[in-house]
Amino acid sequence: MPGTTSPVFLVAALPPGTRAVLDGEEARHAVTVRRMRAGERLVLTDGAGTAAECVIEAVRPGRDAALDLAIERRWTEPAPRLRVTVVQALVKGDRGELAVELATEAGADAVLPWRAERSVARWEDGARGAKALARWQSTARAAAKQARRVWVPPVEEPVDTTGLAAVAKAASLALVLEGSADERLTRVDLPREGDILLIVGPEGGISDAELRTLRSADAVPVRLGPSVLRTSTAAAVALGVLGARTDRWG
């Protein structure tokens, strides 16, 4: 989003023309939390690459808060030629949400939860699993707005290791972050376009059986460096390496 540090608000779709109204939860946040006023600027985005910079013309506070906006410019940010999907193993407590937050801020294009063998959290089918998934999705949306991204990474339904192997087989390159790997992420050959799968295991590590399954799907184990990172921070660090080694930051 070049040229603007204005706060970002998500809408289902950008309206045509030169006027817009921001309402609902996003408007309540703008009015009650950010305390935005007439004359200030903000950015509306649909989370799918389209955005508009706006000036607030009027603020309507209250339970049905709304902002009347004048649209000054629009733009579309193309999807990256090289997409990175972070496969994040389920972890207990809020560390999973932290992992999603950091990965989103670091530029992940999608997040795929993984029911790894050693994951303490299970996300069983039903209401509890749906609630946990919704928390990750909400975290990704909030982090994308914080990072002023106009692409919000989707958080998909969780997969088991068999399902993950199928996804890895279809990717341009699948990388497994593994501390004992011989190959370094800083040296592995990377494609210029397509899809990279970045697989992060649980705090108990990836089992030997899982590693064999992923290797059979052409996934490549790689390590970041001499230290062992928490599962909540590993993806963000790896995304930084990929950003520096490719044109994703260009």
Q: Is residue 154 part of a domain?
A: yes
Tokens 């497994």 belong to which residue? 176
Spatial distance between the Cα atoms of 26 and 28, rounded to a whole number of angstroms:
5
Same domain, 122 and 33: no
| pTM (predicted TM-score) | 0.93
Q: Is residue 3 part of a domain?
A: no
Same domain, 102 and 58: no
Q: How many CA atoms are closer than 13 Å to the CA of 80, on its beta-carbon side?
A: 26
Largest CA distance in the chain: 60
Q: Is residue 1 part of a domain?
A: no
Spatial distance between the Cα atoms of 220 and 157, rounded to a whole number of angstroms:
23
Residue type at 176?
V
Q: Is residue 137 part of a domain?
A: yes
Spatial distance between the Cα atoms of 98 and 104, rounded to a whole number of angstroms:
10
pLDDT tens, residue order, the chain (250 aa): 544 689 999 999 999 999 999 999 999 999 999 999 999 999 999 999 999 999 999 999 988 999 999 999 999 999 999 999 999 999 988 999 999 999 999 999 999 999 999 998 888 778 888 999 999 999 999 999 999 999 999 999 999 999 999 999 999 999 999 988 999 999 999 999 999 999 999 998 999 999 999 999 999 999 998 888 899 999 999 999 999 999 999 8
Q: Domain of 135: which CATH number?
A: 3.40.1280.10
Instruction: Say which residues have a Cβ less than 8 Å from residue 40's Cβ, sequence separation at least 6.
Output: 55, 56
Contact assessment for residue 176 and residue 214, using Cβ atoms and an 8 Å cutoff: yes
> Domain ends where: 49, 76, 103?
76
> Domain ends where: 76, 99, 120?
76
Q: Is residue 2 part of a domain?
A: no
Q: Which domain holds residue 104?
A: 82-249
